[in-house]
A and B are shown apart, each in its own frame.
Chain A
């Protein structure tokens, strides 16, 4: 993605200030200065849109070469927020870089009191089998009035307004192709 040089870098008339500041001396570097080398200036910039409310504020995500997220702050070129963010938007970094994230599929067996880890392929295979078993057992070709309905009422689905448009479209597509009619999400509540 090509980004034009933004107001972000033009904000202040203090060109050359960084060089001048060096004169302060070698041992006078303030603490709390992890970003003193201003990693964000060297980082890769990617525009994104806030995942919380639907104002749709723009952000810039700064990443290292390794793909690690370093920082995320408002996109000053975005006409809605012009660089501003609320508390949630300003914390976007911490949704991604977060030790509490789940990083493995989990399975809970019937009557069990604990999660167990499961491989992705096993999890998806098992779910697919459950879908088929339930769908085949509950599939209704005709309703009580003898009308053709071709649906399953054994499975319900909710979610999600947090998905991208393309995911939403595909999700409604596969759910409907599988014959679900109980399809709902956050817009209903």
Chain B
């Protein structure tokens, strides 16, 4: 979230699309309700009428996988009716930038497409630059090659009629959504978007979100209270685990994982430190070397020296251009390419797309470690449905761990608040905390490498001074994540002794004088104490920022890009939306995105989007794998023979995997219905924690498949009947929930039925609960993120003769 939960109350129009907040983030509705009490409009756009829809002022259905068309139409409406916030768009976004003459878009393809490699040459999308290397602009937004005009042309194709025949949303419903939302382009109004996996889990996931981000930017909603682009993150610490980068492509703090071609620390820093020629751009990522060296110091401590490039060679490198993502892991595991596997606090046998492939893949391992609180479909995969234990060689270790109330540490919520938790209850004998398991395991590995072993340096040199008596200490690591002065140093005129905690990332250095496990968290645990543990409930702005309750990254900034909430003179765009103001030569309110004076001070100012090399937000995104402007493509599996927007049926650069477990079929009479997956309030993710809890299981005991009355009639299914739901990859048995909340849609003149299933069940428990809906979903995904496309695929539904016992 660029904003935070409480800030939703400051909104005038709340669009919940690509998420079902009332179901999956129930407490968010408290703040939605507060906004509505003040007159805000709530809009729910969803293939199915949901718990969220039940509270909405406006509901519009759409076919799963067609969000770009829906929003492209909104963009067209905004641009052609002049509903955008012109001063904001011209000054704070790249709408005014002139795009190079090589850029083109024809029949669904952007310039630079290589059909053999299924890849774009992104250099064709570059901006035109002046003699100083600064992108050329036309602040009047009239130049035919400026981003604004290119966008206008691109989205003029998304007429209400075309959009409606793609999305299945009646034309009148489209306008019912577009009109009120576009009204937030007024300076005294803000609109917010609450989205989640309903947008990410598509072959066009990134562009779904970009499309909305572009709308937010043109309406002037970014950086402002009641605005922003708000991803409702689904796990208690998925924000923190992402910030700390348990991901192949990034190191803590979103530093890039070194590529094989980055053959030295200098080469790495050169490659990944963005440059700008614009004196008004802060280009914050220009500090990358300070953060990468401080990270290495936290990894390797005193062993990391200037002479050995701070141990850079001890970090593993990935090959340039190769991806090592979730989908790749299970594709390669399926092909027998791994020997060992850790599934730590995760249940991939149910959670990833195409569970049959995942489960079969695990049978090809030599060994596997699963750390969890309860038994689960991953740990016990070898005795699951269709498995023959006597043919499976995989050795499995199951390690039982503590629950959240049995250990101490912090988690970071969706609004980027790092909140400290304490150990409350005594854990059962026989369990260990995850932290202690890590410490003890690594100490044993290190012991083995005392005598011999390949390339032992990183193992031997890993910093370990935060471990005391073989025990994990959350405070000690939280301090290391913040960072220390590793020697006496003077920064910005202040002197610091060795061993002092670094006050904020502005004080980090690239010469080895500082460590910081994650520069974004530098300022979270300082000499003033553990900021995440703060419980002071002051609200000086009256806008719900609570700056002394816990701590949020970066540097306790509660709304990021907040310098875009003010005009060029530093005054809030409107008085009722004041979280930050430039008064008497200083900023008052939230922690500003950099302390420079506002834009009217042309000598000293910096542009507000400080993380972007050009200092402005990118409505045109030349860095994306699949094009600088979002374009509608059909999902890998879809019910229509063609894409009405172009002859590219699906995203031309989306990854598609080729094992026999990766079958996919579009417009096939065997799988005629659009399928989608979702969660329920009462279970969490695969249900691994909640299915074992009698109170929750009582409320949602078994897998169900929701379908319209019309489809049920067509298939002779009654409410409560047992059904088989199948796709090209797998099948599940589910209880029919026949409902008016799903309705057939008319798409390209065809009647399209949609069905949906929650993915919170699994074979291990309860025995009559049904299995994972991910048995149906395909291994394909977004070309930028490789998040799987589990929200739109094709299925069949048939009535079974029996009811589940």
Contacts and interface: CB of A to CB of B under 8 A. Distances in A.
Do chains A and B directly touch (beta carbons under 8 Å) in the complex? Answer: yes
B318 A148 contact: no
A69 to B, nearest CB: 4
Q: Which of A58, A98, A153, A171 has the most CB of B within 10 A?
A: A171
Interface of A: 1, 4, 44, 46-58, 61, 63, 66-69, 72, 77, 79-82, 84-89, 91-92, 94-96, 98, 100-113, 115, 118, 120, 123-132, 134-139, 141, 143, 145, 147-189
Among all A-B residue pairs, the 7 with the closest Cβ atoms? A56-B413, A160-B345, A67-B426, A164-B409, A159-B344, A151-B316, A61-B424
Which of A1, A130, A185 is most buried by chain B, counting CB atoms within 10 A of its CB?
Answer: A185
A96 B260 contact: no
Contacts of A82: 30
B317 A147 contact: yes
Nearest to B786: A188
B425 interface: yes
A58 B5 CA distance: 13
Question: Which of A50, A101, A143, A162 is packed against the most chain B CB atoms within 10 Å?
Answer: A162
Contacts of B400: 101-105
B353 A189 contact: yes
A37 B242 CA distance: 45
B555 interface: no
Contact of A124 (B260, B332, B440, B689): B440
B715 to A, nearest CB: 31
Contacts of B391: 111
Interface stretch (B159-167, B230-238, B635-643, B744-752): B230-238
Contacts of B393: 110-111
Interface in B414-453: 414-415, 417-419, 421-426, 428-432, 434-435, 437-442, 444-445, 447-449, 453
A172 B246 contact: yes
Nearest to B695: A91
Contact of A162 (B245, B328, B345, B537): B345
Residue with the highest number of chain A CB atoms closer than 10 Å, among B27, B232, B341: B27
Interface in B739-761: none
A105 to B, nearest CB: 5
Contacts of B371: 159-160
B785 interface: yes
Contacts of A127: 367, 369, 397, 441, 444
The interface size bin for chain B is: 35 or more
A88 B343 contact: no
A173 B374 contact: no
B243 to A, nearest CB: 8
Given A87-B26, A168-B241, 6 more contacts: A53-B24, A53-B25, A130-B340, A161-B345, A164-B435, A165-B410
Nearest to A97: B425
Nearest to B448: A132
Contacts of B326: 158, 184, 188-189
Contacts of B440: 120, 124
B299 A176 contact: yes
B438 A132 contact: no
29 contacts: A44-B424, A56-B414, A56-B417, A79-B549, A88-B690, A103-B430, A108-B382, A108-B395, A110-B395, A120-B432, A128-B445, A131-B445, A132-B445, A136-B453, A147-B261, A149-B260, A154-B340, A157-B342, A161-B242, A164-B237, A164-B240, A165-B411, A173-B517, A174-B445, A177-B459, A182-B338, A184-B246, A187-B238, A187-B246
A52 B235 CA distance: 6
Contacts of A158: 326, 329, 341-344, 346, 348
B348 to A, nearest CB: 6
Contacts of A118: 397
Nearest to A50: B236
B337 A153 contact: yes
A180 B454 CA distance: 13
Contacts of A108: 382, 394-398
B549 A171 contact: no
A105 B263 contact: no
B454 A136 contact: yes
Given A55-B414, A186-B351, A163 B448 contact: no
Nearest to B765: A100
A172 B329 CA distance: 17
A68 B232 CA distance: 33
B518 to A, nearest CB: 7
Given A106-B398, A183-B246, A188 B785 contact: yes
B554 interface: no
A168 B246 contact: yes
B333 A111 contact: no
B136 to A, nearest CB: 37
A189 B244 contact: no
Most buried by B among A1, A134, A153, A186: A186
A87 B682 contact: yes
A170 B405 CA distance: 20
B406 interface: yes
B25 A188 contact: no
A174 to B, nearest CB: 4
Nearest to B373: A101
A23 to B, nearest CB: 35
Interface hub of B237, B239, B329, B699 (most chain A Cβ within 10 A): B237
A130 B395 CA distance: 10
B644 interface: no
A79 B546 contact: yes
A179 B316 contact: yes
B790 to A, nearest CB: 8
Contacts of B723: none
B351 A177 contact: no
A138 B549 CA distance: 48
A169 B517 contact: yes
A102 B765 CA distance: 14
Chain A CB within 10 Å, residue with most, of B346, B411, B422, B430: B411
B247 A54 contact: no
A135 B435 CA distance: 22
A128 to B, nearest CB: 4
Contacts of A94: 693-696
